[in-house]
Structure formats: C-alpha cells, structure tokens
A and B are shown apart, each in its own frame.
Chain A
Amino acid sequence: MLKIQDLHVKVGGIEVLKGINLEIEQGETFILFGPNGSGKTSLLMTLMGFSGYEIIQGRIYFKDRDITETPTYERARMGIGMSFQRPPTIHGLKTRDMVRLCAGDREVDVEELAEKVNLTNFLDRDINSGFSGGEIKRSEILQLMAQNPSLVLFDEPESGVDLENMALIGKTARAILDGPQEPDNSASLKELQSQYRTSGLIITHTGYILDYINADRGQVLYNGILCCTARPRDILDHISKFGYKECVRCLN
C-alpha cells in the first residue's frame, strides 16, 4: 500500500527526516511514536505532499505508483486521507459542504455520517470555527468517512480530547480502519483484511488510541530516524518506563 524508501526531508533548510524506510501493507495499522520535534508530523505532511516539506532524497510509493512528485489533491484522490491536528478555519464554508466536498463524486448521506460522530449540530457551522479539540477530531473523522480513503494518516487522535470523546473517536477510527464488513466465515480473516481494511499510519503520544484500534506494528521516530520496531503496546510500556532516551541507545 505505502512504501517509503530512504526519505530525506528538509523543512526551512533543516533536515528533519534523515533516511526513513517504511512499508505499510494493505489493511495494516502502523503506530508512530516519538518525542516532540522528532519529525512525526513532518513525515505525515510530506506523505500528503504539502509545500514547505522538501524531499532531498528518497522515494514514496503508494499503490505501486511513485507519488514523490504527485500533487496533494492527486494523492487524496488516489486514496490517502489525513486527519489534521490543527486544521484551519475556513470562514463561510459550512461543515456540511466540506463533508460533501470530501466525498468528491460519490453520494454520501452527510446527516447519517454526522450522527455517528455526534456532530449533526455542527453541520451548519463554518468548518473548524470555534471547534474544541474533541470537535475538531470528530469533524476530521467525519470528513475522512466521507472521503473513504484506503490509507489514513492520523496525527495524534487523542490530543485535546476528553475521555468521553476519546471513546467515540477511538471507535469511529476503528470503524474507518476496519472497513464496512464484519468478519464472517466465508473467507479467511486475512483475506477479509486485505479486501476491506483500510491502512493506517497513526501518530500517538499517549497511546490511548491503542485501547480502541487493532494496531499491528509500531516504531519510534527519534531525531528524524526510525528505530525500535516492536508491537505498539510493548513500545508504549517501554517509553512510559524509560522515556525516549532509551531510543538513543537503541540507535547507537
């Protein structure tokens, strides 16, 4: 699904990603840990193709196509969806219309989707205008549901969210990743997984999101370099005990 090869990225003249290699299979959920300023958000922004993230070396492949030079909207249309941590307010653009725009040419029932994330009262408000942390997350998820991507980039789903909202966000995030079908016996789980499941690349600090989603694999991004491949739970336990400084040892 996603293949990153030896990716080096500069932001404002400073190299923030220093040779990232990462592969995410179809249906796989990958968790990215790392301290503040380690380059996690930069990686997501680069994958989405935003300006200001200058690729100086390496390639990005998505669905076997080289997208290193592909414009952002093209990537979105190919199936990459991103949940923003601090999305801008767009005055005069109603949430309802934004959700419809996310769906592109597909028909979506905006009301029904909004109900799932408890946002029906926000549909007539300008997108992100005066939204709380939890409301932003839910609105981002609502947009992703309409967009129906095959790879979700999720930047800190738990930041600024209270516990009650965390449950709602966790469940809907899982629903997006798991796809529309419940597993049944007519096909093997692996088959179903590759058929329906959406891939995910999720940044987390606290790990709360791990209570809700089925994460397959995780890694720590430290100072622009990926290290410590392990099960996400184990990484989280390790970080909570020893902090990120242990990662330095791992790198040496």
Chain B
Amino acid sequence: MPKLDNAAGEPRVDLGKYNFERDELPELADLKELSAEDRSRLLMAGIDAGELQRSGTYLHINHSKAHCRSCRKDVEVMDTREALEKYDGLPEYYWQAVDKDKDEFTRAAAENIHGGYFIRTKKGARIKDPVQSCLFIKGENIGQNVHNIVVVEEDSELHIITGCTTSADISSAMHLGISEIYIKKGGKLTFTMVHNWGEEVMVRPRTVALVEENGVFASNYILLKKVRSVQSYPAVFLNGRGAVARFNSILVAPKGSHINSGNKIVLNAPETKGEIISRTITTGGTIIAPGIIEGNAVPAKGHLECKGLILSDGIIHAIPELKGTIAGVELSHEAAVGKIAQEEIEYLMARGMDEDQATSTIVRGFMNVDIMGLPDKLRKSIEKTIEETEKDMF
C-alpha cells in the first residue's frame, strides 16, 4: 500500500516519544477490580466487566496481560506470549500472515512483544457468546505493542469483540497491534472492533486474515471519538473455494482526527465473495478511506461501497479500487462524498420534523449498525455513543 504511507498531512509517529519498556502490572482476578471510571471506558468499547454473555475475556493493560480466561472448553483464550511458549513458537501462525519487515511498526512489534491475545476454537465448536478482548492504555505516552493471533478451526464459529481504549485521564499514547487471523475450512469469524481512544493517541494496527474453503470473515469496525491518527488497512485473502469476506466500518472524524482506514479483499479462489461497506462522517477531521477488491479467480464477486458525509469543513478522501486479473470476475463499486441530500431533509420536514431533527434522523440512519449483527447490549451501547457523538456534530 505505497500510497497509504506518507499520505498527505498524516501525522508522523515518533516511536522514540513513547514508553515501550515493559512494566508488568499485577493481574486482576476479576474485571470488577477496575475503577468505575475504567469500567465505563471499557463498556463504551464493548467490553462487559461483568463478563455476562461472554465466552471468554482477555484484558491487556499497557504492556501486559491483566486478566484472561475462557468460560468454555471449546475455545482457548490466552496471552500470545504464553501461547508461543506452550506451542513452540506457533510456527504455523506467528508472523505467517503479516510480514514482519513490512514497516517500522511491524519491526518494532516484532522486537518487543508485550503480549496480546491468542484465541483458538476447537474444531466444530459453535461459540455462541462472543469472546471479548480489550487493549487498554492507562498512562501518558505509553507505547503498546500487542500481537494477536486468532485461529478459527474447521467448521467452528466465533465472535470476537475487541475494544481498544485509553483511560479517561490520558490523552497521548501509541498503540501498535499486529493481528493475524486464520479461518480454516468452513470456519466463521465475526470480528467486531470498537476504538475509543484519547485525543492525542496514535494508532498503527497491521492486520491480515487468511480464509480457507467456505470460511467466512465478517469484520465490523467502529470509530466514533476523536483520535490523533489511525492508519489501518486490514487485508483478507480468500484462498479457498466459496470463502466470503465482509468489512463494515463506521468512522467519525471530529476536528483534529486523522483517520486513514481502509480494507483490502483478495479473491484468490473460485466462488469467493467480498464486500466492503464504509460510512464515514467528518465534522472537521480528515478521513482517507481506501478500499481495494482484487479478483484473481472465477467465478468471483466483489462489491465496494463507500459513502461519506461532510457535515462541517473537513476532508473525506474515498479511494475505491478494483483490480481484476482474469476474465469473468465481477467487481463493482459505488462511492459518494457529499452532504445530506436536501430532498431527504425536506421529506422529513414535511412530516413535521424541524431541520435539526431531520438532519440528526438522517445521520443516525447513516450510521446504523444493524447490518453488523451485534449482540443486543453492544448494539445499544454503540447507539448510545452515536447519540452522544451526534450532540457534537451540529
């Protein structure tokens, strides 16, 4: 992704500014040991401190694991460092999807791993309740390196909710996250990521997913609050026949946010399908929304939909790309950047809503998360955050 590096105006990360020195914090026996304030930060990022309706939890604070447990025998949840020890370095998975030498961030993450989650299902297991993970930063100018590995074994199903957040009192920090996701034959993973950072936080995740025959990868990404800079470009390779990938993102950039967030789907096998849907709103910040679907096998279908609303002066730069390398691929995209259609506002006004009510109704619809199929409680919590975000929009 050469064009994404050094994108115009993108804040540069000075890794030397942050403290990556490992200081192990004591583990928590129970998430309820967290302060009420921290718990509410977690909740906004989708993490339930009571662990209700969760199949497991991994909580990482600053540079180490703070709490980790699985509630079921058919899903393993552990610290990646422990998994590396237990499974002889995880040769099949560790740095197998993401290139260690990709950039300064992958190299930094490889040099000094702080942990991260290793989640693996048992073959055929249907894990109904989500496994939740939280990568939490508490402390000014902390630099966090995590390396996550997810293995969805054959014919198993899993939902991971991962919330990344900082405690309320800090503004500046740096998060590096490597995520390698392996979905085996017939496996299904829903991966929901909620970002809720401090205002000066720099975020550089690097994510790659490999999907085998008839596997499904559904990824949801929600970023509603101010963040200094996110640069993220998860890629999924559909390598087996009949594999499916879907990316849904909802991004809001208030003034001061720089969000460079896109997706890549590579259709490498027949009968694969890929879909990228993004909804972006700027209220003064910058959003770069690249997306590429590449079709290298037939029959294969891909669709990319990228919609942006500029509510007050900001920048939305949508870059939809399609690349077909073989006759017979079906790739399409639709992209729109602009304002709320006057026609829609007037339609609602003709039903008795004033302009502000009409506008906020339309924006709420635009950011609708129904398509993501989230658990009820998480959906409500996100809708609440959207409502709060909305107050700052107009």
B370 surroundings in chain A (CB, below 8 A): 92
Q: Is the CB of A101 within 8 A of B348?
A: yes
Name the residue of chain B whose CB is nearest to the CB of A89: B344
Kindly state the separation between the CA atoms of A101 and B351 in the bound complex, as whole angstroms: 7
Interface stretch of the complex, out of A18-26, A71-79, A241-249: A71-79
Given A93-B365, A126-B365, residue A77 in contact with residue B342 (CB < 8 A): no
Indicate if A37 sits at the interface (CB-CB under 8 A): no
Q: How far is the CB of B17 from chain A (nearest CB, A)?
A: 40
* Number of A residues, CB within 8 Å of B: 24
Residues of B within 8 A of A72 (CB): 346, 349-350
Per the bound structure, the CA–CA distance linking A88 and B342 in Å amounts to 10
Answer whether residue A82 sits at the interface, using C-beta atoms and an 8 A cutoff: yes
Given known A-B contacts A90-B344, A91-B368, A82 and B362 have beta carbons under 8 A apart: no
Most interface-central of A73, A77, A81, A87 (chain B CB within 10 A):
A73
Q: Interface extent on B, as a size class? A: 20 to 34
Q: In the complex, what residues of A have CB within 8 A of residue B352's CB?
A: 73, 76-77, 101-102, 104, 147
Q: Which residues of chain B (329-358) have a CB below 8 Å from chain A? A: 341-344, 346-355, 358
Complex CA gap A77/B351 in Å reads 8
Report Cα–Cα, A147/B358, bound state, in Å: 16
Instruction: Tell me, rounded to whole Å, the shortest Cβ–Cβ distance linking B249 to chain A.
Output: 15
Q: Is B367 an interface residue (CB 8 A)?
A: yes
Smallest Cβ-Cβ distance to B369: which chain A residue: A92
| Residue B128 CB within 8 A of the other chain | no
Given A76-B352, A101-B353, A101-B361, residue A87 in contact with residue B368 (CB < 8 A): no
Mostly, the B contact residues are helix
Given contacts A50-B346, A90-B344, A101-B348, A73 and B354 within 8 Å (CB-CB): yes
Main secondary structure of the interface of A (DSSP, over half): mixed
CA distance A48 to B349 in the complex (A): 9
CB atoms of B347 and A84 under 8 A apart: yes
Contacts of A42 in B (CB 8 A): none
Is the pair B344, A76 in contact by a Cβ cutoff of 8 Å? no
Q: Which residues of chain B have C-beta atoms less than 8 A from A77's C-beta?
A: 352
The answer on a CB contact under 8 Å between B350 and A82 is yes
Query: For residues 145 through 172 of chain A, which have their beta carbon under 8 Å from a beta carbon of chain B?
Result: 147
CA of A126 to CA of B371, assembled, Å: 12
Closest Cβ of chain B: how far from A75's Cβ, in Å? 8
Q: Once the chains bind, are A90 and B365 in contact (CB under 8 Å)? A: yes
**Alpha-carbon distance A84/B361, docked complex (angstroms):** 19
| A143 close to B (CB within 8 Å) | yes
State which residues 359-394 of B face A: CB under 8 Å: 361-362, 364-368, 370
- Chain A 57-72 residues near chain B, CB threshold 8 A: 71-72
Among A82, A92, A104, the residue within 8 A (CB) of B366 is: A92
Task: Add 15 more A-B contacts to A92-B370, A93-B361 (CB < 8 A).
Answer: A48-B350, A50-B346, A51-B346, A81-B350, A82-B350, A84-B347, A84-B350, A87-B347, A90-B344, A90-B348, A90-B361, A91-B368, A92-B366, A101-B352, A101-B353
Could you write out 29 A-B pairs with CB less than 8 Å apart? A51-B346, A71-B349, A72-B346, A72-B350, A73-B349, A73-B355, A73-B358, A76-B349, A76-B350, A81-B350, A82-B350, A84-B350, A88-B344, A90-B344, A90-B348, A90-B362, A90-B365, A91-B366, A92-B365, A92-B367, A92-B370, A93-B362, A101-B348, A101-B351, A101-B353, A101-B361, A104-B352, A143-B351, A147-B351
